[in-house]
Structure 1
Amino acid sequence: MGRLTRRGLTAAAFLWPCAPALLRAQTWPSGTIRLIVPFPAGGSVDALARLAQPGLERRLGATVIVENRPGAGGSVGANMVAKSPADGLTWLFVFDTHAVNPTLLPSMGFDANRDLDPVMLIGTAPMVITAHPGQPYRTLADIIAAARDKPGTIPYGTIGNGSLGHLAMTLLAKRAGVRFNHIPYRGGGPLVNDALGGHVPLAIASSAVLAAHLAAGTLRPIAQTGTARAATLSAVPTVAESGFAGFEAEAWWAVFAPAGTPAAMVQRFNAELTASFRDESILRQLTENQQVKLMTAGPAELKRFFEGQMAIWGQVVRENSIKAD
């Protein structure tokens, strides 16, 4: 038997507190993995999680389920994940409301930076301002002119109060010196239904929500909010090109985990999720059907991106006294 040296004792003392985490990481996954979607089934976040599920299940060799936990702009499900064990069995899929909620919902019960660890920035997509084909609006200038002519009376719909679409239009109105009439809906489904029926003349949502209707010509695209034209919307000008230099408001999707989830688990989950999304058939669905620009960026990049989004949209919420529904 080898002699136990002082150096060996020191190393053992250093490693002992880490032993349980190292053991868990080596045996992971050893149970059912839950992908928590904090929105109802049928939305863009739900679609991304369900696209990822089969590939994750196959690559991780574990049962993977998608669990919808909707409520309060995604904060109910996020709160549940923030309070879950950091054992690599619970992962949170979110989109852009996740960066707005800390300012919009100051009593949501958890700290988005402290209680959740970044895992992956899945991708981005522009918001698109659209009009019903029966409306006279064909350019952003037409909409701005109408708002100047009839202040506060031109309605536009979004997926909800405090949503990125609402904040983007609030910022646009401020830069243009006009006022619109905001009509909040409870999700993309109700918004699209009323937009298609002409019950709301203008709507703004991510291209993922609107793609099928833009392709079918049942909604008319007016402007997109990315820094450059999306490849799938090459004929649609950006807001920046339409007279508002530097304007940017992109939808985004990401994954977080309970704070303290072992780095080895995060790294492997990130790698297997990347492989799942980059599978040829899944990638085609993401880019063509969901209109997502796939990024699969890691924890450090997501952390920087998320903090930047919190700063930008938190300021819009505060400066315009925007309240949750």
Structure 2
Amino acid sequence: MTTSTRRLLLAGGATLLAAPALRAQSAWPSGPIRIIAPFPPGGSTDALSRLLQQPLSQALGVPVIVENRAGASGSLGTAAVARSAPDGNTWVLVFDTHAVNPALIPNMGFDTERDLTPLLLFGTAPMVLTAHSTRPYKDWAAMAAAARARPDTLTYGTIGNGSLAHLTMALVGRTTGLQLVHVPYRGGGPLAAAALAGEVDLPIATRPAIGVHVDSGTLVALAQTGSTRSPTMPNVPTLAECGVAGIDARAFWGFLGPANMPAAIKQRMEAELRKALEIETVRTRVTNLGIDLEPQGEEAFRAFLSRQIRTWGQVVRENNIRPD
């Protein structure tokens, strides 16, 4: 075999190896793309999905359909994506319950880490622990003193049993020894109404859920749950600044597809998502949702999810928390 013949054969082999990736890139997208929002309309995953819908459709040249498939704390819609073909036509936009569900719902029908591709983490948002303005405590120290003086009497309200806010306050209780009473509500709307009415001493949720009542003065912000101060709440101290070390509890929003997707499809979709988030109107509206935008790609998102799953799974087990 001559040298030139060998080179031709090697070149031909390389072309054959590259062909599947090239076909995937050229053929995709071949039809409508579905983004499943695994919660009812009106929530943050639904709002963010619809913000991305038009710019993605324009960039990819196909219809982008947002489908609300709620149930089982987001795991029902996510399961549909985990079972979908890895052809780039079906995606899911998840919230922080995605990392808690494996510990709360043992029979989800899919493995969170094995059966999904964590394509892009959009950003995070700390929760804010508040007190109703009619309560005598206006900062963390005064609230903690009141809780210690009257154990098991101060109440904190969350969007539900097993929610990130619930797990965070359980962790706060174990760390500080504060004995607070959990009052779960069925979602952000009922919690916001209860917070406004003063039904619960210490409402805790993300800023989009109760921030308007903080701005109006009805609620007083005591602490935020991220490791650093959010730009949306620059004057609110972190738990660490209040003397509660080691807690970094942030809601998050991320985009996932089925496992084993072709690299070309993943790269294209990630690039288009990043471009969409750079559109000024989109970026402004996402920020107004209370999300601190900091997009992170597949490997960083995968590592982030693994940490979240381990952290909150341990809290669930140690506190024997059960879903509603």
Tell me the residue number matched to 1:204: 204
Larger displacement relative to structure 2 (8-17 or 97-106): 8-17
The 2-side partners of 1:172 and 1:188 are apart by: 21
Secondary structure of the 2:35 match is: strand
> Map of 1:122-141 to 2, 5 A cutoff?
122-141=122-141
Verify the 8 A CA contact 1:209 1:290 in the aligned structure 2: no
Tell me the residue number matched to 1:176: 176
Verify the 8 A CA contact 2:123 2:254 in the aligned structure 1: yes
Give the counterpart letter for 1:177 in structure 2: G
The 2-side partners of 1:212 and 1:59 are apart by: 35
Give the counterpart letter for 1:187 in structure 2: G
The 2-side partners of 1:164 and 1:230 are apart by: 17
Q: Please report how far the alpha carbon of residue 17 of structure 1 lies from its aligned counterpart in structure 2 after TM superposition.
A: 8.4
Secondary structure of the 1:229 match is: coil
The 2-side partners of 1:78 and 1:21 are apart by: 26
Give the counterpart letter for 1:315 in structure 2: Q
> Map of 1:58-137 to 2, 5 A cutoff?
58-137=58-137
The 1-side partners of 2:306 and 2:29 are apart by: 30
Larger displacement relative to structure 2 (141-150 or 69-78): 141-150
Tell me the residue number matched to 2:54: 54
Given the superposition, is the C-alpha separation of residues 135 and 32 from structure 1 closer, same or farther in structure 2, using an over 3 Å criterion? same
Number of matched pairs: 321
Tell me the residue number matched to 1:162: 162
Tell me the residue number matched to 1:294: 293
Given the superposition, is the C-alpha separation of residues 148 and 259 from structure 1 closer, same or farther in structure 2, using an over 3 Å criterion? same
Verify the 8 A CA contact 1:124 1:253 in the aligned structure 2: yes
Give the counterpart letter for 1:210 in structure 2: I
Report sequence identity in percent: 52
Q: RMSD across aligned C-alpha pairs, in angstroms?
A: 2.1
Give the counterpart letter for 1:103 in structure 2: A
Unaligned runs of 5+ in 1: none
The 2-side partners of 1:47 and 1:212 are apart by: 18
Tell me the residue number matched to 1:234: 234
Give the counterpart letter for 2:304 in structure 1: F
Q: Please report how far the alpha carbon of residue 7 of structure 1 lies from its aligned counterpart in structure 2 after TM superposition.
A: 7.8
Tell me the residue number matched to 1:33: 33
The 1-side partners of 2:169 and 2:184 are apart by: 12
Given the superposition, is the C-alpha separation of residues 186 and 12 from structure 1 closer, same or farther in structure 2, using an over 3 Å criterion? farther
| CA offsets 1:35-81 (integer angstroms, 9 cap, x no match) | 11111111111121111111111111111111111111111111111
Give the counterpart letter for 2:157 in structure 1: G
Verify the 8 A CA contact 1:123 1:253 in the aligned structure 2: yes
The 2-side partners of 1:160 and 1:49 are apart by: 23
Larger displacement relative to structure 2 (102-111 or 145-154): 145-154
> Map of 1:258-277 to 2, 5 A cutoff?
258-277=258-277
Q: Please report how far the alpha carbon of residue 130 of structure 1 lies from its aligned counterpart in structure 2 after TM superposition.
A: 1.3
Q: Please report how far the alpha carbon of residue 268 of structure 1 lies from its aligned counterpart in structure 2 after TM superposition.
A: 0.9
Verify the 8 A CA contact 2:122 2:296 in the aligned structure 1: yes
Larger displacement relative to structure 2 (303-312 or 211-220): 211-220
Larger displacement relative to structure 2 (13-22 or 79-88): 13-22
Larger displacement relative to structure 2 (303-312 or 230-239): 230-239
Q: Please report how far the alpha carbon of residue 216 of structure 1 lies from its aligned counterpart in structure 2 after TM superposition.
A: 2.7
TM-score (norm 2): 0.92
The 2-side partners of 1:199 and 1:308 are apart by: 34
Q: Please report how far the alpha carbon of residue 184 of structure 1 lies from its aligned counterpart in structure 2 after TM superposition.
A: 1.4
Tell me the residue number matched to 1:247: 247
Verify the 8 A CA contact 2:131 2:221 in the aligned structure 1: yes
| CA offsets 1:106-133 (integer angstroms, 9 cap, x no match) | 1111000111011001001111001222
Tell me the residue number matched to 2:142: 142
Unaligned runs of 5+ in 2: none
The 2-side partners of 1:143 and 1:216 are apart by: 21
Secondary structure of the 1:291 match is: coil
